[in-house]
Amino acid sequence: MLTKSDFIKFIQCKKYLWLFKNRKDLLPEEVDENLQKIFAEGYKIETYAYKLFPEGQNAQVEEFKESIFKTTKLVEEKAPTIFQPTFSAKNLFCRCDILKLADNGESHDIYEVKSSTSVKDINIYDMAFQKICSEGAGLKVGKIFIYHINNKYVRAGEIEPDKLLELEDVTDQVKHLEEETKLQIEKALKIIEGKDEPDQRILKQCDKPYECTLLGHCWKDIPKKSIYSIAGRLNEKKLNMLLDEGIVEIKDIPEGVVTSKAGLRHLNAEKTGEVHIEKDNIKDELEKLEYPLYFLDYETFYPGVPLFDGYRPYQHMTYQYSLHVQEKEGAELKHYEYLAKGWEDPSPGLAKELKKLIGKKGTVLAWNMSFEKGCNREMGERYPEFAEFFEDINNRMFDLMSIFRKGFYVHKDFHGGASIKKVLPVLCPDLSYSEMDIHEGATASNKWGDMIDPETSKQDAEKIYNDLIKYCELDTFAMVRILEELRKVFSLSSRTKR
């Protein structure tokens, strides 16, 4: 039996399909919490699509055979709209999102709901599979549509499903891919029946669209310093070329393959073990800093269905800042924090408090500042009374990450990255995120959503509040310490204590 989701797995990675069917022991017992949130948001979006078909009847029941039976009955009764219609044809099985009886009263149009903001190639394979399977079960398919999120929609009052969702007719694209899909279905069925784990080169498929749950199995023999971790990443053509030669380790990459500046510096650091430091460039960068220094970091939440008025789907809602301030060189470090707690737009409260803390002079340091700048710009657009303040701090922002991203400081143990999570353990090994209950951005974001959810218990909400405060504070203190380490290159400053 090949289900719709099996087939999608096969299109993304044939090895995944085989492992999924034949090595259940390798699959995680529970779906990752962040992935669960993504799925939950998808279901939420689907319910808004249902609202566009008020006459819809649900065909889904617990037992899949009963779902097929109920679907057949509703189709025979010419029900105008069926939710979750289920079909089985030979060895294929699929459940569509919405089936609508066409105006001719004979054929049915298929509607799929996607939480993405556009139609992707993989979605066309998905729809072609649904067409082949439902037609195999005797359905006469008319048109095929995909609802996806309209990223221009701005919430104003209650969610308007017809504005939140955009409809795209993909009938012709699906027809175009139908024969190819039939061939792929045959291949997928053969893969499932195969006795041995299929060979599959590791290219881009392992972390797109989500990190594969089988990384632990497939990557167990990949060395830590592999061709996949070179700074700037190698494209698939180059990866294939190296794999053809049996090259997996960075140290074996021949000359001429890595051409980007950052990649070459990383390669050299790996091969020689030397730390690459461009003193003059770092000095030029650090001379741009002006006291007081404000080390700023935001955390955001970005649901597909906007929670509050004024937001677009997936637009970042800034709910937290951590701010470390140093008035002048050698001065005591001060820390400030803000974390919105209530079920309301967090931006105005956050902006009001931040405005009290950041003065008219001095540099605002961020790590990957385009993110903080974007949050500031959008908060200023939604609340014009703060537009000037945010514009001013954006004009005074300095990106501490740029020193690492530009390759002015390269250490082999950054593993080709420039994120704070890669740099901090090397420059400041006494500081670590690993002991924290929240230790990366996606979890922080989802946890805030849980914290403000009225259904979360007071005790759980308090724990999340404390975890978020600790996590965000480390982000800015890490910047303070990394700056100190950079200055030590020139013996410019001593260590700061919290």
Which residues here bind ligand SF4, judged by CB under 6 A? Answer: 13, 15-16, 19, 200, 202, 205-206, 212, 214-215, 218
**Extended beta strands in 393-436, E state:** 397-399, 409-410
- Cβ at position 239, least distance to ligand SF4 in Å: 13
Coil, strand or helix: which one is 193?
A: helix
- Cβ at position 459, least distance to ligand SF4 in Å: 38
Rounded Cα distance between 139 and 97, Å, is: 15
Rounded to whole angstroms, what are the CA distances from 332 to 288, 328, 492? 21, 9, 16
Q: Which of 371, 377, 404 is nearest to 298 (CA)?
A: 371
- CA angle centred on 206, ends 297 and 423, rounded to 5°: 35
Minimum CB distance to ligand SF4 smaller for 119 or for 218:
218
Minimum CB distance to ligand SF4 smaller for 10 or for 301:
10
Minimum CB distance to ligand SF4 smaller for 212 or for 339:
212
Phi, psi of 252 (to 5 degrees): -95, 0
- Using CB atoms within 10 A of its CB, is residue 89 exposed (0-12), middle (13-18) or buried (19+)? middle
The tokens for 149 are 């999120």
- Cβ at position 434, least distance to ligand SF4 in Å: 23
- Cβ at position 186, least distance to ligand SF4 in Å: 20
Minimum CB distance to ligand SF4 smaller for 68 or for 234:
234
The tokens for 309 are 């008025």
- Cβ at position 236, least distance to ligand SF4 in Å: 14
Strand-pair category, 276-277 with 409-410? antiparallel
- Cβ at position 199, least distance to ligand SF4 in Å: 10
Minimum CB distance to ligand SF4 smaller for 15 or for 37:
15
DSSP conformational letter for 118:
S
- Cβ at position 21, least distance to ligand SF4 in Å: 12
String of b and e for 166-184 (b: at least 16 CB within 10 Å)?
beeebbebbeebbeebeeb
- Cβ at position 442, least distance to ligand SF4 in Å: 19
- Cβ at position 205, least distance to ligand SF4 in Å: 4
- Cβ at position 283, least distance to ligand SF4 in Å: 43
- Cβ at position 260, least distance to ligand SF4 in Å: 24
- Cβ at position 218, least distance to ligand SF4 in Å: 3
**Cβ partners under 8 Å of residue 43, min gap 6:** none
Sign of CA dihedral 22, 24, 26, 32: positive
Which residue in the block uniquely carries the two structure tokens 């399977």?
133
Rounded Cα distance between 372 and 417, Å, is: 20
Q: Which of 23, 360, 62, 436 is nearest to 191 (CA)?
A: 23
Asked whether the beta carbons of 392 and 360 are under 8 A apart, the reply is yes
Rounded Cα distance between 420 and 413, Å, is: 13
Rounded to whole angstroms, what are the CA distances from 155 to 163, 308, 310, 454, 485? 9, 7, 5, 21, 45
Minimum CB distance to ligand SF4 smaller for 218 or for 410:
218
Minimum CB distance to ligand SF4 smaller for 214 or for 339:
214
Minimum CB distance to ligand SF4 smaller for 204 or for 334:
204
Asked whether the beta carbons of 390 and 377 are under 8 A apart, the reply is yes
Longest Cα pair distance anywhere in the chain, in angstroms? 82
Minimum CB distance to ligand SF4 smaller for 27 or for 492:
27
Q: Which of 148, 53, 157 is nearest to 101 (CA)?
A: 53
Chain centroid to CA 462: 26
Minimum CB distance to ligand SF4 smaller for 2 or for 110:
2
Minimum CB distance to ligand SF4 smaller for 191 or for 258:
191
Minimum CB distance to ligand SF4 smaller for 17 or for 250:
17
Which residue in the block uniquely carries the two structure tokens 């679907």?
71
Minimum CB distance to ligand SF4 smaller for 174 or for 202:
202
- Cβ at position 222, least distance to ligand SF4 in Å: 10
Rounded Cα distance between 113 and 168, Å, is: 10
User: Bridge-partner residues for 166, per DSSP?
Assistant: 148
